[in-house]
Amino acid sequence: MPTEIDLDSFVGALDAAMQAHLEWSRRILRCAVLHVPPGVDVMNAEAHRLCQFGRWFIADRQIFSTLHAERSDRLELEHRQMHNAVRTLCERLLAGQPAAVEDFQLFENSQRNLIDQLAFFKSLPVSTKSQVDALTGLPLRHCMEKDFDLLSQNVRRRGSVEIAMLVDVDNFKLINDSHGHAGGDVVLQRIACTLKRVLRDNDQVYRYGGEEFVLLMELPCHSQAENGAAERVLRAVRKLSIELHGSIVHPTVTIGIAIASPDDTLGSLIARADGAMYVGKASGRNCYKVAPAQGGRSPAPS
């Protein structure tokens, strides 16, 4: 998922960048009509680094790269080309020379492309926000398909193992009944934070629905799915101590694990993890169970 950003501040800064660069067009017009210098900042060879947007872009480049690395590179290129075109036009005008058609076309094209790139980035946070669970800050289930396809490609290339873990909060209805939905929300938030904290950077965790979370992971071998990942999640959740209205809640989770086969789709993988999770619930909860390999007999829900 992209780095967490202040949506209003990010969009506001993009709007300011558009307005600032449109203002440069007016300064070029004054230069052309009145033959007055457009300003030292416009004529500087490093103008693309000195303008309002340039300074912000350099400082927060990681945000742009996280949102879309390729578009971030294109934005940087178009921004630099626009400033170079502006400088070339003004140099000729101030020297009493007519502007070349190709220079003006380069300015028009680069400015149009720059505004298109800025508009693209303006739309991204809104789109991203709609794919993120407002309560936990986790991506929602419809974000999984693309990540699953990418992970499957990496697994095939590296010869590693892909797993899905379905994590279900135990006795969540009882928590809601005892502490209200607000209390249940606090428990979900704390568990979500715990999952994010204990997982590795390349692991993915999603709010699957209700009190369920899904983890997609790439591991070197099958045994690490149990002895490493599942045990780590169970231990971390067991350590939680959550105060709700004067009471202390110690939540636990039950985990179903499915190890992907070449024939698995995301749907079939999660379905097998779900079956294993129900076996864990029937076994007393607060544990993990591993689904049979694809083609074997799936555990039946209790």
Q: What is the mean pLDDT of residues 153-174?
A: 91
The predicted-structure confidence for 90-132, as pLDDT tens digits, reads as follows 888 888 888 788 888 888 888 888 888 887 877 765 555 557 7
Active site residue 145: no
pTM beyond 0.85, yes or no = no
**Mean pLDDT, the chain, integer:** 84
- Res. 162: pLDDT tops 60: yes
160 vs 28, residue with greater confidence = 160
Catalytic residue among 76, 78, 162, 211: 211
Question: Residue 295 — left, alpha, or beta (φ > 0 → left; ψ -120 to 50 → alpha)?
Answer: left
Q: How far is CA 69 from the centre of its chain?
A: 12
- Res. 133: pLDDT tops 50: yes
* Structural domains of the chain ordered from first start: 7-129 (1.20.120.30), 141-290 (3.30.70.270)
Q: Which pLDDT score, from 0 to 100, does residue 281 have?
A: 95
Q: Which pLDDT score, from 0 to 100, does residue 173 have?
A: 94
Which of 78-82, 210-214, 250-254 has the weakest average pLDDT? 78-82
Q: What is the mean pLDDT of residues 153-179?
A: 92
